[in-house]
A and B are shown apart, each in its own frame.
Chain A
Amino acid sequence: EPEVTQTPSHQVTQMGQEVILRCVPISNHLYFYWYRQILGQKVEFLVSFYNNEISEKSEIFDDQFSVERPDGSNFTLKIRSTKLEDSAMYFCASSSQGWDGNTIYFGEGSWLTVV
């Protein structure tokens, strides 16, 4: 069974520090996503990425956030200056095509705790 892998599984960081969360999507997938889930809340969309550019982003995804596909396998989410409210589980996901009619594969998540 193919899988999306994420690292780190858990990171604790000081407020104001930069954080990079890493993801390795399924190898033949073309669409990549980041979602987040604040403890006790719903999963929320952050950003989608296709053909080396952002295809859509939510209002949460402000200038503090960026995504990159630095090579053929990794997909990263960077938070430039973390805030306490960035503490959440961040999920990477990928699909072979857009959402419509295609299964989405999620990683196990990266817990980010900002102190």
Chain B
Amino acid sequence: KNEVEQSPQNLTAQEGEFITINCSYSVGISALHWLQQHPGGGIVSLFMLSSGKKKHGRLIATINIQEKHSSLHITASHPRDSAVYICAVPSRGATNKLIFGTGTLLAVQP
């Protein structure tokens, strides 16, 4: 079974700062998901990536398959970025079952 670890668990930043959230997993995968959970609880998919880097607006996600590590970066952070960011990977041997990390609670202060 895949194990997922995220760091940091909590992160407070000032508006405009560059933010990095890290995710490590234990078993080789074909794709990793970054998700955002709103304060109200809803979950939105941000990225699904299997190699290299993806960019969407101020969000950048990278993955190193050999090192079993992924990072989510937020450039020019804004208070509206405040949310929980979660990485999720397929469970070993079952690609349609995701194992979720504990999430990183990000608070961006104006």
Contact = CB atoms under 8 A, between A and B. Distances in A.
Contacts of B43: 43, 91, 106, 109
Contacts of B94: 56
B95 interface: yes
Contacts of A106: 35, 42-45
Contacts of A58: 97
Contacts of A86: none
Interface residues of B, number: 26
A100 B95 contact: yes
A115 B96 CA distance: 33
A72 interface: no
Contacts of A42: 100-103
Interface of A: 31, 33, 35, 37, 42-45, 48, 50, 55-56, 58, 89, 91, 98-109, 111
Interface of B: 30-31, 33, 35, 40-45, 48, 50, 86, 88, 90-91, 94-103
Given A99-B96, A109-B43, 12 more contacts: A35-B98, A44-B100, A45-B98, A48-B96, A91-B43, A99-B90, A99-B98, A100-B90, A103-B45, A104-B33, A109-B41, A111-B41
